[in-house]
Chain A
Amino acid sequence: MVNKIRISSFIKPLLPLLAVIAAVLIWYVYFNKTDKELIKEQLYQFRTDVSKYAGEGMAQSILKCKALEKLFDKTCHVNINVDMFAGSFSPEEISSKAMYCRSHCASAAVNFYNIKITIDGDDAEASLTASLDGASRDGKRFNEYRELVFSFKKIEGKWLIYKIDIHQIIEK
């Protein structure tokens, strides 16, 4: 009992200070994000929006594709050796292409590994290894790996994608 009184009387005056420290920590963790963290967040958002999990409905697909638009600059250049997906596209076009791909897949889980980010002023580049694991509507399974390089531009405090390079990890 004596000990309890002693501890509480010791902590009580420190409570405001502890509250301030906690508030600063929360602010630091949640709001004071570095550019690298912000870029990583964009990448994770991209990964979530392009992935299609089993049982996902049409409404969710539309919402995800709509959310994808917010990650891109007015024009985004895509370098890939598939004619249909190569070229310069607006966010809306990217969204509709994502919708088209989703309609052909029963499931498609995208994952990113080995992310390396380099920042140069308002420009940044993120290179990573991506895996695409899933199944088509006719039940054919696929498991592909590619090397991706995302180019970002900081516009009004947001890192937006303006270029994506997709190529094989091992090129014949």
Chain B
Amino acid sequence: MLRKWLTFYLQCWRPYRYRQAPAGLADFVLPTLNAAFFVRLITLIIVSYIVFGTFLIPTYIKGGSMEPTYKRIGVNFCWRMRYLLHDPQRQDIVIIYYADKVLLLKRVVAFEGETVEFRNGDLYINGMKLDEPYVKYACDWNLPPRKVKKDHIYVVGDNRSMPIEQHKFGQVAKDRIYGAPLW
């Protein structure tokens, strides 16, 4: 029985199994509504639901905190498997789970136990200035040194042209890392 169903299922994916070869463009583009077509359609829906609902979450970027690396408005995918086997590295771009349907796109700059500080717009980790070629806009941020808590990472956006109070950055629990952008 199972073998019979499997054979039928595999045949559904063979071109022109249940229809004639396309005669013209319309015949090529428009599907023939037969059993094979619906089997393929249902398969596609199920696979898309699993892939785009679990592993590759479609995301809409709204906000300029990662400019110019990411534009103010854009579309991307969150690849949830990126940090399944290893932790993020310094200067990796990660997606943080913030609340219900809100995710934050930020860059990792420090790890637990490290000291983070901003001096005249420069970022210092453990007292050493961090080279940040991705920061294109000048800033004058000042933030006293603070230690990153256990099981936390420190994230900042690339766009620091706004006042420090208006930029959402800081330490966040590691278990809030949702994934990484696909591109």
Interface positions of A (Cβ within 8 A of B):
111, 113-114, 129, 131, 145, 147, 168-172
Secondary structure call for the A interface: strand
CB-CB under 8 A for A131 and B171, given A170-B104, A170-B155: no
Number of CB contacts from chain A to chain B under 8 A? 36
State the Cβ distance, B117 to closest chain A Cβ, in Å. 11
CA distance A170 to B168 in the complex (A): 7
A129 near B99 with CB under 8 A, answer: yes
A172 near B143 with CB under 8 A, answer: yes
A145 near B170 with CB under 8 A, answer: no
State the Cβ distance, A58 to closest chain B Cβ, in Å. 31
CA distance A147 to B99 in the complex (A): 9
A169 near B98 with CB under 8 A, answer: yes
Q: Which of A113, A129, A170 has most chain B Cβ within 10 Å?
A: A170
Interface positions of B (Cβ within 8 A of A):
96-100, 102, 104, 143, 146, 155, 164, 168-173, 176
Q: Which of B99, B171, B172 has most chain A Cβ within 10 Å?
A: B99
- Which are the 8 A-B pairs with shortest beta-carbon distances? A172-B170, A170-B170, A145-B99, A171-B170, A129-B99, A113-B100, A170-B172, A131-B99
B99 near A113 with CB under 8 A, answer: yes
Shortest Cβ distance from A168 into B: residue = B170
Residues of chain B within 8 A (CB-CB) of A147 are 173
Shortest Cβ distance from A129 into B: residue = B99
A to B CB contacts below 8 Å, 10 in the list: A114-B97, A129-B100, A145-B98, A145-B99, A147-B173, A170-B98, A170-B104, A170-B170, A170-B171, A172-B164
